[in-house]
Structure 1
Amino acid sequence: MRPIRLALVPGEPAGVGPELCVRLAQRPREYELVVFADPRSLRAAADALSLPIALVAPGHTAGVAGELAVVEVANATVPAFGTPDPGNAAAVIGALRLAAEGCLRGDFDGLVTGPVHKATINEGGIAYTGTTELLARQAGRDVVMMLANDIVRVALVTTHLPLRAVPDAVTPQAVERTLRITHAALRRDFGIADPVIAVLGLNPHAGEAGHLGGEEIEVIEPVLAALRGEGMQLAGPLPADTAFLPSKLHGFDAVVAMYHDQGLPVLKYSGFEHAVNLTLGLPYPRVAVDHGTALDLAGRGLADPSSLIAAAHTCARIAALRSRRAAGPQ
């Protein structure tokens, strides 16, 4: 089998994304890496960090330390570190789209993405809520956002919504879709034959038998009962304040939270530096860093590359597993 080939998009050129890519390039790797970016931003980051970098055409490197294969996506400007330019919004989004198109064509086995600056993209005239949503629309797939580290995997029923909009978005269809996609991904991408999933309630104490809200009884429990009837192992709905106790987490392969800030603070507290963001349900694996653009650190050599390193290795591992399965028995 040929080496796994990953597309990499640094994200906001004024943030830490380019320098994290340069740091990743210093490490030997068993997969090929092709960066969709402006070479000027990568060179500026390498110069700021005093690190060597050789930018080569795709196909001229197989994971050699200190080299990066580049597909040029030119920015309107080379921004100063820490100062995003809305004029670069089209290039940032264009790089994501081009890399994802390559994955959809089969040119790449997976996509790794760095942090983007949502406000700057919107200021540049592009309506943007998140890369997860962008990739889902492009692929025409229902997807689920999952964040994971070595301690816990957390998938979300709702993602980037105002808190007052969450209850209306927690529908039977949304809960079922999230559980089906998460269950399938745990089997396909993590190699867990019969995953056990913890499902959180929406309300404090999981609704306290209806005294603190009815969503658990009216929305969540009927979905869990139906899917259990199909053979899924689902625990819940569980109170979110105790579901993450280590003694309970030990028995779960993933936790499904109803909204963004219900599950992710625990995950980030338990291991922020090595956490990654996965988009489940795409035709290809997509793994992103679990942090923002860190504009205040850009160009100073202080940004921790651990999350990008973990994202690349996770994406390569999932891609290799999918490739072996597609090839069938040897």
Structure 2
Amino acid sequence: MKFIHSADWQLGKPFGRFDSDVRGALTEARFDAVDALGSAAAEHGAEHVIVAGDIFDTEGPEDRTIVQAISRMDRHGCRWWLLPGNHDFARNGGLWDRVRQRTSDKIIVLSEPEPREIEDKIWLLPAPLIHRHNLEDPTSLFDTMETPGARLRIGVAHGSIRDFGSRGETKNQIAPDRARLSELDYLALGDWHGALKVDARTWYSGTPETDRFQRDEPGHALVVEVQPDLMPTVTPIRTGRFQWLTRDWTINDKAAFDAECDQLLAGVDAPNTLLQLTLAGITSLGERIAMLGRLENDLSHRLRHLGVRADDLVGRPREEDLATLAVEGMLGTAAAKLNARIDAGGLDSAVAKRALERLFVEYSREGQA
């Protein structure tokens, strides 16, 4: 049997930190990822897509989010098996009742911990979450689930094999050897947003569309082939559109900065790239201004999103910069005093650096006017 393992769609995620145009693109990409999964199922001959929790970002998404999710799934020939996770946990009268009111028979909500025979003698064992955080292992019930005549036992759960700290949930702990303990041929997990192999029979699929600055890889899903008495074959496939990159550049001149920019642009699909950039180094004020100017007037327009932290990129005036300011009378006197304060260090040094840079920026603007 072959199926697609996915998780952590988090449809309806607000992306509130971004401008409206970026928010709209990121929101739409998450729905497009559903289509990518359906297309992948057809391409790889998989009749089932098993989604290991967090299909929705909250337990109370808007109607449009639910309808969009269902309509995207409905236009593909595969069957969709949806497990409630910690973001969209199962409760009476909640989200999943709203979903069932609209679904066709090809979309099955696994809101009860009851085994389902999805093909002849192939059983799916779900561990839905009924609270956001469970103190017990949600997969412990697998041991008592009866699967008469089973050729294959496939578990699906949402939680942590280990403590992911700030990068994942620390509740809903799952035994790391659950596949062995419960005699599973495969355990499909959700919660960790990157594809991760726990052991030969236990995998996190990761999210199909990346949603945070943690790793360079775009979203993935897993094509899983399982056969009785054999280890599963697991193949990651790309499903995501956007890349979320974090870069730290230490640079001391504009030439090195331009080289970094050119190398970055050559290696990415710029319109589908979000970049969080941190700059550090010591350069002249003029070159620092030119670098930040390229970011503002070039890279920010090419990339889908650009965030810059440049506090550690120190701009020091060259002798010629000071000489230019010096002829301006009071401006030159102010520049000399600020530069002396920078050289002296101390608590005022950082403020003096910014003040000197601002003085030079304003002077440069006046000269261009």
Pairwise same-fold verdict (TM > 0.5): no
Structure with more relative contact order (C-alpha pairs < 8 Å, separation 6 or more): 1
Return the structure number with greater strand share: 2
Normalising by structure 2, we get a TM-score of: 0.29
Rg comparison, structure with higher value = 2
